[in-house]
């Protein structure tokens, strides 16, 4: 009768997400990465409200200045404040990263779940994924940027046109890893008893996917989301760095880095800030992803 002596557990049962949070907290690097990423995002989006200088404001008499109290990061060749330009550039870079990641994630999850769930579509969709994986991504992105820049700029305005182009280009060339991981997980899930149970009570396919499959493949999707942000930010910066991204007067981190390399001999310190911003963002997001992967894996959790 000893096992009945304590019929009520002392603490209420913990939900899955509380467990995940506990595991996540244990990973110091991931926590730090998350905090730094949030600080960068907040600083970039709220900072311009607090900072007196506009990123487009030209003060030709204050050009090429080093760091001072008025301009902590200095000014560029037209006397624009570098801190303000860094914040404006960060807004674009992070927006591109988030939007492209969402697009790639949506596409990847859709194709992965469809391929895993419907047996007939599995072969064709996976061959398609393999084909996309065999495409040379960077050369193709460069070609796409060059070819479709003019017509899209003419159609919806230069900045928005390039934004759409970059996001779509990165999105449709980086969904493949997500699709593969999700498909593998769906295939494993389909063999589980609760899917059989759900099917036996006549659950239609649409509800099967939204209620039973999707919540269970959320953790690989979240991990590839963090890696997707990092990848998209790096790709956008690379394109801007090669001069095939946003127009010259429109700051993004990659563009600022590109502008700074042209003044490398006279003002070498200028490459530092945009490069640091890109690297710090990507590093924090990668650590976040590392921690999330550990926290969302039930085999590691609780150890």
Binding site for other proteins (CB under 8 A): 130-131, 133-140, 142-144, 146-148, 150-151, 230, 234, 237-238, 241-242, 244, 254, 257, 260-261, 264-265, 268-269, 271-272, 274-276, 278-279, 282-283, 286-287, 290
**Alpha-carbon span 143 to 10, nearest angstrom:** 63
Q: Residue 193 Cβ, how far from other proteins at the closest point, in Å?
A: 30
Q: Residue 139 Cβ, how far from other proteins at the closest point, in Å?
A: 5
Q: Where would I find the H helices in the chain?
A: 16-26, 28-50, 82-117, 119-133, 137-156, 158-173, 176-190, 193-200, 205-207, 214-216, 218-241, 253-262, 272-296
Residue 35 or 196 having the CB closest to other proteins: 35
CB neighbours of 194 closer than 8 A, spacing ≥ 6? 212
Taking alpha carbons only, the member of 225, 219, 215 closest to residue 105 is: 225
Q: Residue 111 Cβ, how far from other proteins at the closest point, in Å?
A: 17
Residue 109 or 173 having the CB closest to other proteins: 173
**Alpha-carbon span 97 to 174, nearest angstrom:** 12
**Alpha-carbon span 161 to 154, nearest angstrom:** 8
**C-alpha distances out from residue 64 to 52, 69, 86, 267, Å:** 19, 15, 16, 8
Element at 62 (helix H, strand E) = none
Residue 209 or 260 having the CB closest to other proteins: 260
Q: Residue 63 Cβ, how far from other proteins at the closest point, in Å?
A: 21
Residue 213 or 223 having the CB closest to other proteins: 223
Q: Residue 131 Cβ, how far from other proteins at the closest point, in Å?
A: 6
Residue 115 or 227 having the CB closest to other proteins: 227
Q: Residue 293 Cβ, how far from other proteins at the closest point, in Å?
A: 12
Residue 113 or 141 having the CB closest to other proteins: 141
Residue 60 or 154 having the CB closest to other proteins: 154
Q: Residue 268 Cβ, how far from other proteins at the closest point, in Å?
A: 4
**Alpha-carbon span 137 to 74, nearest angstrom:** 36
Query: Rounded to an integer, what is the distance from CA 47 to the centroid of its chain?
Result: 21
Residue 210 or 261 having the CB closest to other proteins: 261
CB neighbours of 28 closer than 8 A, spacing ≥ 6? none
Q: Residue 136 Cβ, how far from other proteins at the closest point, in Å?
A: 3
Question: Euclidean distance between the first and final Cα of the chain, in Å?
Answer: 31
C-beta neighbour count of 175 within 10 angstroms: 24
62 CB burial (10 A radius; 0-12, 13-18, 19+): middle
């Amino acid at each position: 009768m000893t096992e009945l002596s304590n019929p009520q557990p002392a603490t209420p049962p913990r939900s899955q997400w509380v467990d995940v949070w506990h595991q996540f907290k244990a990973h110091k690097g991931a926590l730090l990465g998350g905090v730094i990423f949030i600080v960068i995002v907040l600083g970039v989006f709220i900072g311009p409200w607090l900072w007196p200088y506009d990123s487009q404001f030209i003060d030709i008499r204050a050009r090429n200045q080093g760091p001072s109290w008025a301009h902590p990061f200095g000014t560029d060749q037209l006397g624009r404040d570098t801190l303000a330009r860094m914040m404006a550039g960060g807004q674009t870079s992070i927006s591109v990263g988030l939007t492209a990641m969402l697009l790639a994630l949506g596409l990847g999850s859709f194709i992965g779940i469809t391929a895993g769930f419907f047996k007939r579509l599995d072969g064709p969709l996976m061959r398609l994924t393999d084909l996309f994986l065999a495409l040379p991504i960077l050369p193709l992105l460069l070609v796409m940027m060059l070819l479709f820049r003019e017509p899209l700029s003419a159609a919806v305005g230069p900045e928005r046109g390039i934004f759409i182009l970059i996001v779509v280009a990165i999105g449709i060339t980086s969904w493949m890893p997500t699709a593969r991981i999700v498909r593998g997980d769906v295939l494993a899930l389909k063999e589980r008893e609760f899917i059989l149970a759900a099917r036996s009570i006549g659950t239609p396919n649409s509800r099967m996917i939204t209620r039973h499959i999707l919540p269970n493949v959320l953790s690989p999707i979240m991990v590839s989301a963090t890696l997707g942000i990092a990848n998209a930010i790096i790709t956008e910066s690379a394109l801007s760095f090669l001069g095939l991204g946003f127009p010259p007067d429109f700051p993004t981190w990659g563009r600022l880095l590109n502008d700074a390399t042209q003044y490398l001999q006279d003002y070498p310190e200028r490459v530092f800030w945009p490069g640091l911003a890109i690297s710090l963002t990507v590093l924090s997001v990668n650590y976040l992803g590392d921690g999330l992967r550990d926290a969302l894996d039930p085999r590691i959790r609780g150890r």
